[in-house]
Homo-oligomer: A and B are copies of this chain.
């Protein structure tokens, strides 16, 4: 049934023309038996018919109220376009600065960083600002950055949904002080933007007190689902990336996933497969492996989304959630492939590949080297990459590991919008199948409290 659906969709070499706004080519054939020897079969899917119908119904109901819905994140493609004029206006102002410091961590950073890395030009275009993501605490880096930058031409965008994330608040306060010391309060204020909850939190109160421009995060959208809100859209717009196309791609994917039927709705099919391979086939580890070098940070966004949404205790059942692991082709052929092929059979794979990618330079093969590398003659670097992908997928399939391939019709904002919406949707469906709340993160609070306690009391011997 699904087995042949998209078979060989990605087998052609990547040098045909790029159709505009083409959909993702999702090839699930190797997730099923017999192609993937440890894959899912019809009986597994039959058992899941009712839970899948209920999951789809729940998702549909819980998105009906738009941005007020429980799953508001899935309605962003419909509702964020209305905010684009406001985002563009802020972005135009911020783009006048030479350096833009984007301060945020986790959900306030991983998505924008991954998309920026994938879509920015290799070298900045004239007029584009340099973006610096200030995420992790790294004192020497911050010191060097501030020694290197001119406050006059530097803007700060601080992002925290709650408005109180300790890493972000701490670093933002240091940046404010640096701006104020050099420029005075008033001019420092012209170089700050805050992205936070519209009604509550420290950042919101600060913005009101000091009249700092802000952009709101919809209250019902949590950090890891927020890349399609101002959290991701503002930094990306500042970088000159086409955020309208990003939302359009997400909307196109949402429309594609409206059907209740597994065969018509790829998000539902993927959720079912990832879930069944975990609970029925012992595939506890889910490896995300792009063969698209600029997607090397996409896995960071995906791993947060998946782990924090699904890695959860359940009453009377095994804990939910496969471990998401990021890899990168071809690099990890030289690093992880040995283990993938010979170690435990507890893994499944998701490949991302560029269907219509650049062929790149032809490998120039001197006469003397034709005997050594006959297969490189008249081949481009893009063809070498694609042959390595096909070969790796084949050896992984032959070893029995279930795997799926998402063929990207291009590496652009519309395509990545689809990919973002697809995985947010798959994650919510999977949460419903596991019976966990995909929106909370109850276990994380204990560590935050403990860190505060250590800072207050013990640490430093104060």
Contact = CB atoms under 8 A, between A and B. Distances in A.
A395 B293 contact: no
A369 B106 contact: no
Contacts of A110: 335
A20 interface: no
Contacts of A167: 330, 384, 388
B454 A391 contact: yes
A64 interface: no
Nearest to A373: B169
A313 interface: yes
Contacts of A380: 139
Interface stretch (A41-49, A140-148, A188-196, A418-426): A140-148
Contacts of A174: 361, 363-364, 381
A342 B447 contact: no
Contacts of A170: 363, 376, 379, 381, 384
Contacts of A335: 106, 110, 224, 300, 303-304, 307-308
A459 interface: yes
Contact of A344 (B209, B318, B329): B318
Contacts of A344: 284, 318-319, 323
B383 A330 contact: no
Interface string A429-462: 0000000000001111011111111111001111
A339 B310 contact: yes
B139 A361 contact: yes
Contacts of A138: 293-294
A15 B393 CA distance: 49
B122 A145 contact: yes
Nearest to A343: B311
A461 B12 CA distance: 8
Contact of A459 (B319, B383, B392): B383
Given A142-B381, A361-B139, A334 B106 contact: yes
A158 interface: no
A41 to B, nearest CB: 25
A340 to B, nearest CB: 7
Interface centre among A123, A148, A446 (most CB of B within 10 A): A446
A391 B136 contact: no
A312 B293 contact: no
B460 A13 contact: yes
A395 B447 contact: yes
A401 interface: no
A336 B361 contact: no
A196 to B, nearest CB: 14
Contacts of A240: none
A78 interface: no
Given A375-B452, A381-B171, A384-B170, A443 B140 contact: no
B148 A123 contact: yes
A85 interface: no
B361 A142 contact: yes
Interface string A211-244: 0000000000001100000000000000000000
Contacts of A323: 285, 325, 339, 343-344
A166 interface: yes
A157 interface: no
A142 B312 contact: no
Interface of A: 12-13, 15, 105-107, 110, 121-123, 135-145, 148, 164-167, 169-171, 173-174, 176-177, 202, 206, 209, 223-224, 284-285, 293-294, 296, 300, 303-304, 307-308, 310-313, 318-321, 323, 325, 328-331, 333-344, 346, 357-361, 363-366, 368-369, 372-376, 378-388, 390-392, 394-395, 441-444, 446-456, 459-462
Given A123-B144, A169-B376, A387-B459, 17 more contacts: A121-B144, A122-B141, A136-B296, A137-B330, A138-B294, A140-B358, A142-B381, A143-B360, A167-B388, A202-B373, A310-B339, A325-B325, A333-B444, A333-B447, A394-B447, A395-B447, A395-B450
Instruction: Name the 8 nearest CB pairs between A and B, nearest first.
Output: A311-B339, A139-B360, A106-B334, A122-B144, A391-B450, A138-B293, A304-B335, A391-B451
